A and B are shown apart, each in its own frame.
Chain A
Amino acid sequence: MPFFRSTVSAQLCICLLLPSGASLAQTPDTPARNTSTRPGYHSPQLQGDARILHALNRFTFGPRPGDVEVVRSIGLDKWFAQQLHPETIDLSDLNQRLAQYPAMQLSTDRLLYSLPSNALIRQALNGRLPVPTGEPLQAVYENQMDRISARITQQRQQDRQPAPASQTAPNGPAGSPAMNPEAEAAPNPNPMSRASTDAAAPQSMSSSMEPAAGSSATPFDTLLIQDILGLPPQQRVSRLVSMRQPELDAFLKSLRPKERADLNAGLTPQQAELVSALENPERTVIEELIAQRLTRDIESSAQLQEVMTDFWLNHFNIYLQKNEVMPYELVGFERDVIRPLALGKFEDLLEATAHSPAMLLYLDNASSIGPHSVAAERASRNASRRPPNQRQAPEGLNENYARELMELHTLGVNGGYTQADVTQVARILTGWGVAQPQRGGGFEFNPNRHEPGTKKVMGQKFKEHGEDEGRALLHFLATRPATAQFLSRQLAIRFVSDDPPQPLIDRMARTYMTSGGDIAQVLDTLYHSPEFWSTSVDRAKIKTPIEYVVSAVRASDASIDNLRPLANALRQMGMPLYGCIPPSGYSWKSTNWVSTGSLVDRMNFALGLAANRLPGIFADWAPQPQDDPPPSAEQSSDPIANEEARLEAELLPGGLDATTRAALLQQFHDQIAQRAPGAALAAANPNVNPRRAANVLQREDQLLAGLLIGSPDFQRR
């Protein structure tokens, strides 16, 4: 380990000359780019453990303590080959954890049935959807129906008294349809209302998402609370099922955090899910979706599969709040479309996304109709029979998906297409839609909505052929050299550097073309390229918020019962999961993530994580019996330095910059150790109360760990 650390710190000074993303930090006399440091065949290559650490930094969400040793014992090449083939990796531990989220295994229609969306609840209120008979599902439906009808009544009362301007903020996607029980037929139209979604705060995963429908209810009897909490699990759940509104919400609202935990104590995953559904079925889906994703990112041994799942979910971005069915569609989108194909053939992935209800709804293709299709002509005949003021919006072409399909999913913005091509692609894809979107009906091709005739895209003719026209188009797009270039560049930006060398991209693109778009083979080419192992790209990447948060949790080896604080941290840092509104997804480049505000958030997250201030997340910094003692060469007479060295080896196997470490230790001595001279005290005086000394030591460890996780060095990978 000592050899290793010095190796990497020696290389740090090279990576500080990194060519990219420097504009924010650029000083007036420094050019924005330094092309001379571009890696190439002749640049120095990472060696030994530095290679292992580099691979872990790039192909996983960050090393956990001991990971370097594990990869060393397997052999780096063999480890990488395993990562490219996740089916060879034992995931039984992960699957056991994921069993906490039973709904995540359901098909979209079953999921909507068991944990109904608010749109379905409004259908039930209107009598257009039968309420399931029999408990506990009936209780789930009826509770939510009561809440929504209470909200509608409340809104109607407010509408009668005109509110001042300050209170008429636009309603969010979750809010506005609820005010109008008739509005559920069409997908929710509010595509990009960040303000209102933030108000609804799905990512904050707090119970504040629902306005208190039972706000008029009286506080709950304390003795009754104790009675209910004292029941054995099954009876406790049955008791909740038997409650109705507003009693249930009044009960839940009266619970203090400790009692809330007692309510869930000893429940099976199914029971816990039911309790959550009784309170809010739609939110239960969102919470489980986010929790399973973070659980996989943190715990999965098939790390590259999760990194690539994250990559493709961002490439084929879908916004959770586009409409009320989107959380449900996202479950299947991630589970059945993205993850299984994340290391497969790109064309399969593209086909699957194009057929997914999530994408068809998010980018509006489901509502696009060929201007000369049977459906459009029928609609215009019907419309002409109505008086002008009752005419519905004309149905027709929507080119949203067509454009993003070429710009963001395949060719890239300079991929050689024109506006005319966008319109032609939109025509080809007319008829690709979703059967009964509110009920999870799945993909459907409707020939009546399909635009007839031959289309021409980038000089290529697509003859009238129904749904197959679209398949031919997707094949055409997936096999363009521009697509090979664009995807290779995106991958190289994610895995190598913000400004990846063109020869590397060309090599990856060649593999893409010769392998039929095989993603694993493209990554294998990247892995075997000298540019990837060049010392000039060592730690050249700055972590995005998801990379930062997940790598911090992995490095701390914390035990996790509650993922909400992590989801909240991501939201605070501007990268909520499934929360990117525009179809471009989040940027992989550093300039977008280094700012004053984001540094404050990262430092506070680090301190909170290390000091166990995030509820349900516990990190233990005390030395473990199986830990190796710190290498004797690094043992010093300064107990704080020894403690720092131990924690640094766990958290930052690449080591901290020497001057940063010196500053940290100096600060610790100057002001922290003076107030709480734990380690020094305990070492010098064996008569100190051992428990008190242990507490002080623990606080010191927490602060040291927080400073290490918040350090400049931990911001890079």
Chain B
Amino acid sequence: MSTSRRFFLRNGAFALAGTTALPGFLVRSVLAQAASVAPTRRLVVIFQRGAADGLNIVVPHREKNYYAMRPSIAIPQSQVLDLDGFFGLHPSLASFKPLYDQGHLAIVHAVGSPDMTRSHFDAQDFMESGTPGNKSTRDGWLNRALQAEDLRRHASHTAFRAVALSADVPLTLAGQIPAIALNNVNNFAVGGRGPTSSPAASAFEAMYGSSGDRIFHTAGEETFDAVQMLRAADPSQYAPANGAAYPASEFGSNMRQIAQLLKANLGVEAAFTDVTGWDTHQNQGSVNGQLANRLRDFSDSIAAFWRDMGDSAEDITLVTMSEFGRTARENGTGGTDHGHANVMFVLGGHVRGGKVYGRWPGLDNDQLNQGRDLALTTDYRQVLGEVVATSLGANNLGLVFPGAAITPNRFLRLA
């Protein structure tokens, strides 16, 4: 079933029901009429930690050198899910193909952070802070995007405005705007779950509330606000909609919980989660194997989320990133080492999908970055800048990405 079709049914455009791949502008013009009742747009950010191998994810299957450089791990041309005659998806991304065909999924290739570090940890920090090369940044681009949104329109926000499905708040979300981190929505209560606050919870709330310890005073306040809201939303009663089947993985579970939080009307504007397992130095596999397994979990979880969100998916933008790509050549142990440019996915009701964006730098030996990696042609901040400007209305991009000189006319116009 096409999500576009659901949008139209809901918006009364019956004449178009049954059409699948609708042009994006048509969808938007219909939606524009309903803008006054539409909820705020929401942004979901996914970080693939460990440096995913973009060249085997969205495969440039017309590049001869791709096959020459990857004799044992390349995805054979006969096996890729062709997108446009040049690029094709890894076969494990089968559940992305309909989203691409329907025009909801856009791909940006040869994209990433311009910093040349090959350290996972520096690169992740740079990407999350949104200031490549600058180690002193203490807050994340997504937090600053919410700050930029506040500059533009004043609105009241809930404790769940910015939420991470993880043990701690990632740098992406850290900063002035309070953010919540939680592992499991169902365990999110103090002193036992129940319709009312436990005596212990009330006592803790009072203790943290009166504490002169600035860090714990604030963290305590945010915690108890969030606990109360979530209790009211009763997350234990959740069942995914539209037959969405999430993989039984941690990432699948996190995507399911993000759907839960988004649907519970808790005021979530920005949600973050990460997925690990991409650092494939060894035996990464080709059509099958390690990377294939990660990709299946990755795409099936995201596709299940999209299906689960149903009508509300129209207000959601989802973007994925990884700290850098991997070497264009496979290494001596059937894997790939730390490289440079990579691929990003952007999925959303307002996304002009069905296209691979970005200038392709080529894979000939003299076209590689430092003779070893896919060269970078698009700064990832261009993509994120466009995403936050359209989804959160955060158009003060000087605040979000200081020093990046991102200007709207250089946008990819993917949304």
Contact = CB atoms under 8 A, between A and B. Distances in A.
The residue among A165, A186, A664 with the most chain B CB atoms within 10 A of its own CB is A165
A597 B211 contact: no
A368 B167 CA distance: 34
B239 interface: no
B294 A396 contact: no
Interface stretch (B9-17, B34-42, B186-194, B258-266): B186-194
Interface string B264-286: 00000000000111111111110
Nearest to A595: B181
B206 A664 contact: yes
A684 interface: no
B281 A364 contact: yes
A191 B280 contact: yes
B97 to A, nearest CB: 13
Interface string B200-217: 111110111111111111
B363 interface: no
A713 interface: yes
Given A23-B138, A598-B181, A713-B213, A169 B204 contact: no
B216 A715 contact: yes
Interface stretch (B25-33, B326-334, B392-400): B326-334
B2 interface: no
B249 to A, nearest CB: 4
B5 to A, nearest CB: 21
Nearest to A198: B250
B385 interface: no
Contact of A16 (B213, B223, B290, B337): B213
A597 B282 contact: no
B296 A170 contact: yes
A394 B74 CA distance: 13
Interface string A384-422: 000010011111111110010001000001000001001
A167 B300 CA distance: 10
A21 B95 CA distance: 41
Interface in A156-196: 164-171, 176, 186-187, 189-196
Interface string A583-600: 010000011111111111
A581 B294 CA distance: 15
B209 A199 contact: no
Contact of B332 (A28, A376, A582): A376
B182 A413 contact: no
A533 to B, nearest CB: 21
Interface string A30-42: 0010000000000
Contacts of A657: 211-213
A199 B182 contact: no
A581 to B, nearest CB: 6
B100 interface: no
Contact of B207 (A164, A199, A368, A712): A712
B188 A600 contact: yes
Which of B159, B190, B207, B293 has its CB near the most chain A CB atoms (within 10 A)?
Answer: B207
A398 B203 contact: no
Contact of B219 (A24, A582, A584, A711): A24
Contact of A572 (B183, B214, B249, B277): B183
Nearest to B283: A189
A706 B192 CA distance: 14
A707 interface: yes
Interface string B302-324: 01100000000000000000000
B65 interface: no
A316 B183 CA distance: 27
A25 B219 contact: yes
Contacts of A713: 211, 213
Contact of B199 (A399, A675, A711): A675
A595 B214 contact: no
Given A193-B277, A393-B73, A707 B337 contact: no
Contact of B72 (A186, A196, A392, A584): A392
Given A167-B248, A394-B330, A581-B276, A364 B191 contact: no
A180 to B, nearest CB: 11
Given A371-B332, A660-B207, A590 B215 contact: yes
Contacts of A395: 332-333
Contacts of B218: 24-25, 27
A672 interface: yes
A600 B223 contact: yes
B119 A393 contact: no
Contact of A599 (B191, B223, B283, B294): B223
A417 to B, nearest CB: 11
B355 interface: no
Contacts of A192: 49-50, 276-279
A451 B290 CA distance: 28
B190 A195 contact: no
A594 B249 CA distance: 26
Nearest to A676: B199
Nearest to B180: A596
A584 B50 CA distance: 12
Contacts of B332: 367-369, 371, 376, 394-398
A143 B199 CA distance: 49
A190 B338 CA distance: 17
B118 interface: yes
A132 interface: no
Interface in A287-321: none
A170 B293 CA distance: 5
A26 B167 CA distance: 20
B297 A23 contact: no
Nearest to B295: A170
A87 B249 CA distance: 46
Given A667-B202, A707-B207, A712-B213, A594 B219 contact: yes
Contact of B200 (A575, A582, A706): A706
B209 to A, nearest CB: 7
A24 B213 CA distance: 13
B245 A191 contact: no
B88 interface: no
Nearest to A28: B176
Given A170-B293, A596-B222, A394 B119 contact: no
Interface of A: 12-13, 16, 21-28, 32, 164-171, 176, 186-187, 189-196, 198-199, 364, 367-369, 371, 376, 388, 391-400, 403, 407, 413, 419, 422, 542, 572-575, 581-582, 584, 590-601, 603-604, 607, 657, 659-660, 662-664, 666-668, 671-672, 675, 703, 706-707, 710-713, 715-716
Interface of B: 49-50, 71-73, 95, 117-122, 138-139, 159, 164, 166-169, 174-176, 179-183, 187-191, 199-204, 206-220, 222-223, 226-227, 245-252, 275-285, 289-290, 293-294, 296-297, 300, 303-304, 330-335, 337-338, 370
17 contacts: A26-B176, A166-B300, A167-B247, A187-B282, A393-B334, A396-B331, A397-B332, A398-B335, A419-B370, A542-B215, A575-B167, A591-B174, A595-B168, A595-B169, A596-B182, A607-B191, A667-B203
Given A399-B338, A596-B181, A597-B167, 14 more contacts: A22-B215, A24-B218, A169-B248, A169-B252, A195-B276, A199-B249, A371-B332, A398-B282, A582-B121, A591-B174, A603-B191, A660-B212, A664-B206, A703-B199
Report, nearest first, the 9 A-B pairs whose CB atoms are least far apart: A396-B332, A574-B167, A170-B293, A166-B245, A393-B334, A189-B283, A712-B216, A195-B250, A597-B182
